[in-house]
Structure 1
Amino acid sequence: MDEPWVADALRRARVARLGTVGDGGAVRLVPICFALVDGWLASAVDHKPKRTGQLRRLDDMERAGSATVLVDYYTEDWSQLWWVRIRGRAVVHRDRDDEAVAVLAALAAKYSQYRERPPAGAVYRIAMDEVRSWRPP
């Protein structure tokens, strides 16, 4: 992250969009809660209702080994707009190894909902291999 404002913006942001590519080439986008953990952007599958327990986003990340995340801020005052796009290696943790435990702790520190009800599903991390950002001059 070359721009000093990027790390602060990512820490303050409450939601991002996770992008994965399915085996047929379809792009899938879902909103996620996230935290920064040891230089990775990380998230987990929480208790909110899902259509199935076999989530395609996890399958996509495991198959492709990568994902993209877009974090942005919009307001009617366009002088305040910004976005950060992260592309990188994706790692899915279906078990509670040390990395998964660290992610869950970071999510609980950022989101009170996760302190009250920790995510029980898989944890995933996306390396910040490529970070692009924009904000008005």
Structure 2
Amino acid sequence: MPLAKLAQARFGTLSSVRPDGRPHAVPIVFVIVAGKLVTAIDHKPKTTSRLVRLANIDANPNVSILVSNQDEAWDQLWWVRADGTAEIQGEPEPDWIKALIAKYPQYRGRPPGGPWIVVSISHLADWSYT
């Protein structure tokens, strides 16, 4: 059940570790393909091309991704956290692009160019109010 909730979530937060040990968290869109979480650096504006998340993963591949359902009705609250090891890949697998376009139609005209972050999930934790 946690993997299904993770896969269905529209947005998540990728947390990585800076070289000095401080956490770094950024919002992401993602898909689950063949049991791995895949996200890409896309064309949306960035302040720099030297993204902290990529440098962090190069130095320490341990990451967490958090997805949640926030609601004023507390009986609807839930979250799922995926912990794992990330790797950066320059070229995508065709299935990654297809899955991203299927989940996020905004990519139809302009799929992400990468680099790609691929997370091998080692642990799932979840919670729900009900």
TM-score of the aligned structures, taking structure 2 as reference length: 0.93
Q: Secondary structure at the match of 1:9?
A: helix
Gaps of 5+ in 2: none
- The corresponding residue for 2:96 is 103
Between Structure 1 and Structure 2, how many residues are aligned?
130
**Does 1:122 pair with 2:115?**
yes
The Cα of 1:121 is off from its aligned counterpart by 2.3
Alpha-carbon distance in 2 for matches of 1:123, 1:65: 13
Deviations 1:2-57 (A, max 9, x none): xx2x2332232110000011111121110000100111111000111111111110
**2:17 partner letter:** V
Gap change, CA 1:97 and 1:45, over 3 Å in 2: closer
- The corresponding residue for 2:21 is 25
Identity %: 37
Aligned match for 1:60, one of 40, 53, 56: 56
The Cα of 1:127 is off from its aligned counterpart by 1.3
Extract structure 1 runs of 4+ deviating beyond 6 A. none
RMSD of the TM alignment (CA)? 1.2
Structure number with higher strand proportion: 2
Q: Secondary structure at the match of 1:60?
A: helix
**2:107 partner letter:** Y
**1:110 partner letter:** K
- The corresponding residue for 2:128 is 135
The Cα of 1:97 is off from its aligned counterpart by 4.9
- The corresponding residue for 2:31 is 35
The Cα of 1:102 is off from its aligned counterpart by 2.5
Q: Secondary structure at the match of 2:108?
A: helix
